[in-house]
């Protein structure tokens, strides 16, 4: 037994190097062990992505629902405003009066159900505010429309008749002078005393004397220095042609100026009515020019 010899280890096993077949088996086993780990990781990532997508979808659904609720609330408010704007003023005033009578008369107030009674003051205040705002809006719109119509009418008067009338005096120069017959108070007192004793009926004398106290007896005369005579005929023709846009005061001045020429030869001087017509044309032209631009 002692003389038996142990077998020698040789080759690759003696050097401690593993067998290639065994190494391949270990690699395949490690690969088989690693595969479940990779699949588990990918499944986890896919699950997290699915969860994130579900959360995003839920959030988007919540936002859509919130937007729809806001839009429905806005639509309801818009409809309420449209109904309030379309309600006639007399209806809102009638509602205010009915609610006021219900609150003022106890017998009527007792007929209202108890659950509705606390809402009556609120309804009264709301209806009153709506009626006031509606009346204010209607008044503002009416005033604005009247101003617009007046401005348009003044513009037509300016362009249609007053500009052509003023153009008649571009080459005609009118010179006027005025005088005062009773500039001081004692002059007017003398005129009043004369008027008081000049009439048989004392009532007429008192009335004329009262007028004389405030009558300065102003008179005015004028003439056209050069450029031709006073264009009354052309003024009458133009006023007759543009009668649709001529105001009543202008027509009255033209009538008086034309009437003043009957049987009153003044040797080229202008009558007081013609001077008044000239001043009125100039004054109205300036006023309408400032108003209409």
- Per-residue model confidence (pLDDT) at position 1: 40
- How far is residue 243's CA from residue 250's CA, in Å, rounded to a whole number? 10
* Residues 174 and 222 sit within 8 Å (Cβ to Cβ): yes
Strand (E) or helix (H) holding 175? strand 174-180
- pTM here is 0.54
Residue-wise pLDDT for 157-189, tens only, equals: 999 999 999 999 888 888 888 777 777 887 888
Regarding predicted confidence, which is higher, 278 or 209?
278
- Per-residue model confidence (pLDDT) at position 226: 77
- Per-residue model confidence (pLDDT) at position 161: 92
| pLDDT (average), residues 264-289 | 85
Choose among 222, 238, 236: nearest CA to 279: 222
- How far is residue 75's CA from residue 71's CA, in Å, rounded to a whole number? 6
- How far is residue 290's CA from residue 284's CA, in Å, rounded to a whole number? 10
* Residues 264 and 271 sit within 8 Å (Cβ to Cβ): yes
Residue-wise pLDDT for 32-70, tens only, equals: 444 444 455 555 555 566 656 666 666 666 666 666 665
Residue-level length of the chain: 293
Range picked from 50-59, 152-161, 222-231 for highest mean pLDDT:
152-161
- Per-residue model confidence (pLDDT) at position 279: 92
- The structure tokens 């005393």 sit at 193
Structure tokens at 185: 């108070």
- Per-residue model confidence (pLDDT) at position 235: 93
- Per-residue model confidence (pLDDT) at position 203: 80
Average pLDDT score, the chain: 77
Is the pLDDT at 11 greater than 50? The verdict is no
Q: Which of 83-87, 101-105, 173-177, 287-291 has the lowest mean pLDDT?
A: 83-87
pLDDT confidence tier of residue 282, bands split at 50, 70 and 90 = very high
Cross-strand pairs, 222: 176, 270
* Residues 101 and 108 sit within 8 Å (Cβ to Cβ): yes
Residue-wise pLDDT for 240-252, tens only, equals: 998 888 999 999 9
- Per-residue model confidence (pLDDT) at position 53: 64
């Amino acid at each position: 037994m002692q003389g038996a010899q142990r077998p020698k280890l040789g080759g690759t096993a003696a050097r401690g190097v593993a067998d290639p077949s065994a190494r391949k088996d270990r690699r395949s086993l490690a690969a088989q062990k690693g595969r479940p780990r990779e699949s588990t990781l990918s499944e986890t990532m896919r699950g997290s992505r699915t969860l994130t997508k579900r959360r995003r979808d839920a959030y988007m659904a919540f936002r859509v629902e919130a937007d729809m609720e806001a839009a429905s609330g806005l639509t309801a408010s818009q409809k309420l405003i449209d109904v309030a704007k379309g309600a006639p003023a007399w209806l809102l005033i009638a509602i205010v009066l009915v609610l006021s009578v219900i609150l003022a008369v106890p017998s009527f107030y007792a007929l209202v159900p108890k659950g509705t009674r606390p809402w009556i003051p609120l309804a009264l205040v709301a209806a009153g505010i709506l009626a006031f705002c509606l009346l204010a809006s209607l008044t503002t719109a009416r005033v604005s429309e009247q101003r617009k119509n007046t401005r348009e009418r003044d513009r037509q008067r300016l362009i249609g008749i007053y500009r052509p009338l003023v153009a008649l005096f571009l080459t005609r120069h009118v010179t006027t002078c005025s005088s005062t017959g009773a500039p001081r108070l004692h002059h007017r007192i003398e005129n009043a005393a004369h008027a008081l004793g000049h009439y048989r009926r004392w009532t007429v004398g008192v009335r004329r004397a009262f007028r004389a106290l405030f009558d300065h007896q102003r008179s005015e005369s004028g003439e056209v220095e050069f450029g031709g005579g006073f264009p009354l005929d052309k003024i009458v023709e133009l006023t007759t042609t543009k009668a649709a846009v001529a105001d009543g005061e202008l027509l009255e001045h033209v009538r008086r100026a034309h009437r003043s020429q009957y049987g009153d030869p003044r040797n080229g001087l202008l009558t007081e009515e013609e001077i008044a017509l000239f001043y009125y044309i100039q004054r109205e032209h300036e006023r309408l020019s400032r108003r209409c631009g």
